[in-house]
């Protein structure tokens, strides 16, 4: 035990540094109880004042037994792993390989960020001693000065403390002498010698550890963003659609993992400070979205280039041409296969129109002075087909009347028939008769074009009759 009368000025400065650290810890522990006068708050403040005394920290911390100070702990993987039987790692973050991904390498090495894990006893006392030993003085930690046998540091720690209460550096040493794991730990056996897969010695056991230091820093950031006053004000402004000078932080898909149950201190000290709460960032697969619909810009018809550009249409046309290339018997099988190809083309045509109707706003085919003129060349019948909700817009009475007259579907059928005739030219004696057949098939497609049109007619209160010939009336 050193005498305060005989210690050097440097030892006194070290002692003052320790006292400032203890005062900061006390203030942090009592901050949430300040201003409260209830019995529970008073009791908590008294307990903190008793705990955060330098002599008490040295005494209780020195008696801590099976405690490991580490950055990566085993108990985060399984709660029933004695620290003397499994490996816990205390890594220097500065020597870790820098990566683009977030990891422990991003943590500052000049701060006390390690965790204290044990068998559920005196973890808090050991953690406070660790924080004290990790305080810096003249650029080095007290633990470094003690390990080097610095006399001033030894005297600073021994003032008023018996030899039995010395802050033994064993607290910072590995409690498990050799790398070890347990059957309760998660393990992955990696084959190092592919030539001998039946040999147990050909495998390397990979044992994951819980990144306690990183997890705690992530928790502090997310917790402040979720419940801090600054982000709370930004959240209110966002909800009320008001201007706000600041940044709003949000974590979609955030999950909470509770560790340790009702006794989170059985996992580690930092886990206890979080109440067992561990935030898990959303890692769901992306939601599939269809690629944006190609638009009929600067063309007279979607049948010019847009329709044949669809992969399934190209594939079907190519298969249909190959099927029709040889001379075929006019039997049932031939007719069924031809109808199957035709059904695929009709489905693609309905899909094309549906994509454009859903992706584009009502009135996208208009070409007024203040609107997009890319689609002004599009044939009127196709405007009526692909932009039906334009009929509901103001100043679109003529468009609405044309749509309700319901003779434009026959023009769409004719255009589809002419397009298909062009694709099959040279393989069949296609002409007016075939074109009429293609058009009829389209207009009477009850599961495709006709159904889609029927739904639009109900929406726009239009006639149910579809003219198969231009100029036909109800």
Measured over the CA atoms of residue 28, residue 32, residue 38 and residue 40, the dihedral's sign is negative
For the segment 359-370, what is each residue's pLDDT rounded down to a tens digit?
888 888 887 645
Here the tokens at position 377 are 């060349």
335-356 CB burial, b ≥16 within 10 A, e <16? eeeeeebbebbbbbbbbbbebb
What is the mean predicted confidence (pLDDT) over 120-131?
A: 80
**Lowest-confidence segment of 51-60, 76-85, 166-175, 339-348 by average pLDDT:** 166-175
Q: In angstroms, rounded to a whole number, what is the distance separating the alpha carbons of residues 410 and 450?
A: 12
Does 114 score more than 80 pLDDT?
A: yes
The answer to whether the pTM exceeds 0.85 is no
At residue 428, the pLDDT reads 58
Q: Shortest CA distance to 302 belongs to which of 437, 403, 412, 447?
A: 412
Q: In angstroms, rounded to a whole number, what is the distance separating the alpha carbons of residues 301 and 412?
A: 10
Q: In angstroms, rounded to a whole number, what is the distance separating the alpha carbons of residues 143 and 55?
A: 17
CA–CA distances in Å: residue 373 to residues 105, 162, 294, 326: 55, 90, 16, 46
At residue 474, the pLDDT reads 39
| CB neighbours of residue 402 within 10 Å | 17
- Mean pLDDT estimate for the chain: 83
Spatial CB neighbours of 431, under 8 Å, sequence gap ≥ 6? 421
Q: In angstroms, rounded to a whole number, what is the distance separating the alpha carbons of residues 151 and 433?
A: 109
**Per-residue 3-state assignment (H helix, E strand, C coil) for the chain:** CECCCCCCHHHHHHHHHHHHHHHHHHHHHHHHHCCCCCHHHHHHHHHHHHHCCHHHHHHHHHCCCCEEEECEECCCCCCCCCCCCCCCECCCHHHCCCCCCCCHHHCCCCCCCCEEEECCCCHHHHHHHHHHHCCEECCEEHHHHHHCCCHHHHHHHHECCCHHHCCCHHHHCCCCCCCCCCCCCCCEEEECCCCCCCCHHHEEEECCCECHHHHHHHHHHHHHHHHCHHHHHHHHHHHCCCCCCCCCCCCCCCEEEECCCCCHHHCCHHHHHCCCEEEECCCCCCCCCCCCCCCCCCCCCCCCCCCCCCHHHHHHHHHHHHHHCCCCCCCHHHHHHHHHHHHHHHHHHHHHHHHHHHHCCCCCCCCCCCCCCCCCCCCHHHHHHHCHHHHHCCCCHHHHHHHHHCCHHHHHHHHHHHHHHHHCECCECCCHHHHHHHHHHHHCCCCCHHHHHHHHHHHHCCCCCCCCCCCCCC
- Cα 298 to the center of its chain, rounded Å: 40
Length of the chain: 474
Does 291 score more than 70 pLDDT?
A: no
- Cα 123 to the center of its chain, rounded Å: 34
Does 290 score more than 50 pLDDT?
A: yes
CA–CA distances in Å: residue 232 to residues 91, 150, 219, 250, 266: 36, 49, 17, 11, 33
Instruction: Give me the torsion for CA of 142, 146, 152, 157, rounded to 10°.
Output: 70
| CB neighbours of residue 135 within 10 Å | 17
**Lowest-confidence segment of 98-112, 193-207, 290-304 by average pLDDT:** 290-304
Q: In angstroms, rounded to a whole number, what is the distance separating the alpha carbons of residues 208 and 215?
A: 14
Of 263-267, 287-291, 454-458, the range with the highest mean pLDDT is 263-267
At residue 71, the pLDDT reads 94
User: Confidence class of residue 36 from pLDDT cuts 50, 70 and 90?
Assistant: confident
**Lowest-confidence segment of 22-36, 382-396, 439-453 by average pLDDT:** 439-453
Exposed, middle or buried, 365 (CB in 10 Å: 0-12/13-18/19+)?
Answer: buried
- Cα 166 to the center of its chain, rounded Å: 48
At residue 173, the pLDDT reads 83
Residue entry with tokens 């910072």: 172
At residue 429, the pLDDT reads 52
For the segment 214-246, what is each residue's pLDDT rounded down to a tens digit?
999 999 999 999 888 888 888 888 888 888 888
Beta bridge partners of 118: 67
Q: In angstroms, rounded to a whole number, what is the distance separating the alpha carbons of residues 355 and 352?
A: 5
Here the tokens at position 457 are 């007619």
What is the mean predicted confidence (pLDDT) over 49-71?
A: 84
Q: Shortest CA distance to 168 belongs to which of 189, 146, 137, 197?
A: 146
């Amino acid at each position: 035990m050193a005498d305060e009368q005989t210690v050097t000025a440097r030892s006194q400065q070290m002692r003052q540094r320790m006292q400032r650290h203890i005062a900061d810890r006390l203030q942090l522990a009592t901050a949430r109880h300040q201003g409260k006068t209830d019995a529970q708050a008073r009791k908590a403040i008294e307990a903190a004042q008793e705990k955060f005394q330098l002599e008490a920290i040295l005494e209780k911390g020195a008696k801590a037994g099976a405690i490991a100070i580490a950055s990566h702990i085993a108990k985060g993987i399984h709660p029933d792993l004695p620290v003397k039987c499994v490996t816990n790692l205390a890594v220097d973050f500065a020597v870790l390989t820098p990566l683009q991904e977030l990891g422990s390498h991003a943590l500052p090495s000049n701060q006390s960020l390690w965790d204290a894990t044990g068998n559920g006893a005196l973890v808090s006392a050991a953690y406070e001693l660790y924080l004290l030993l990790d305080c810096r003085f003249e650029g080095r930690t007290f633990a470094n000065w003690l390990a080097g046998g610095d006399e001033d540091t030894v005297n600073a720690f021994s003032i008023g403390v018996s030899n039995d209460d010395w802050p033994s550096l064993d607290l910072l040493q590995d409690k498990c002498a050799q790398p070890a794991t347990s059957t309760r730990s998660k393990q992955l056996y990696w084959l190092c010698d592919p030539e001998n897969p039946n040999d147990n010695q050909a495998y390397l056991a990979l044992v994951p550890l819980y990144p306690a230091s990183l997890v705690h820093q992530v928790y502090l950031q997310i917790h402040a963003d979720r419940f801090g006053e600054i982000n709370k004000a930004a959240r209110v402004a966002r909800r009320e659609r008001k201007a706000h000078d600041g940044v709003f932080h949000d974590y979609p898909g955030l999950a909470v993992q509770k560790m340790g149950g009702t006794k989170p201190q059985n996992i580690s000290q930092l886990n206890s400070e979080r109440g067992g709460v561990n935030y898990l960032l959303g890692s769901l697969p992306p939601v599939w979205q269809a690629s944006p619909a190609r638009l009929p810009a600067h063309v007279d018809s979607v049948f010019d280039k847009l329709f044949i550009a669809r992969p399934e249409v190209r594939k079907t046309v190519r298969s249909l041409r190959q099927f029709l290339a040889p001379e075929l018997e006019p039997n049932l099988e031939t007719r069924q296969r031809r109808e199957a190809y035709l059904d695929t083309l009709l489905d693609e045509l309905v899909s094309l129109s549906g994509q454009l109707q859903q992706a584009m706003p009502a009135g996208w085919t208009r070409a007024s002075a203040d609107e997009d003129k890319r689609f002004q060349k599009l044939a009127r019948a196709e405007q009526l087909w692909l932009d039906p909700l334009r009929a509901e817009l103001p100043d679109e009475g003529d468009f609405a009347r044309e749509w309700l007259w319901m003779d434009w579907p026959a023009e769409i059928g004719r255009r589809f028939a002419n397009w298909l005739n062009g694709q099959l030219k040279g393989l069949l004696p296609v002409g007016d008769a075939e074109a009429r057949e293609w058009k009829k098939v389209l207009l009477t497609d009850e599961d495709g074009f006709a159904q889609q049109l029927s739904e639009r007619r109900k929406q726009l209160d239009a006639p149910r009759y579809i003219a198969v010939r231009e100029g036909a009336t109800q």
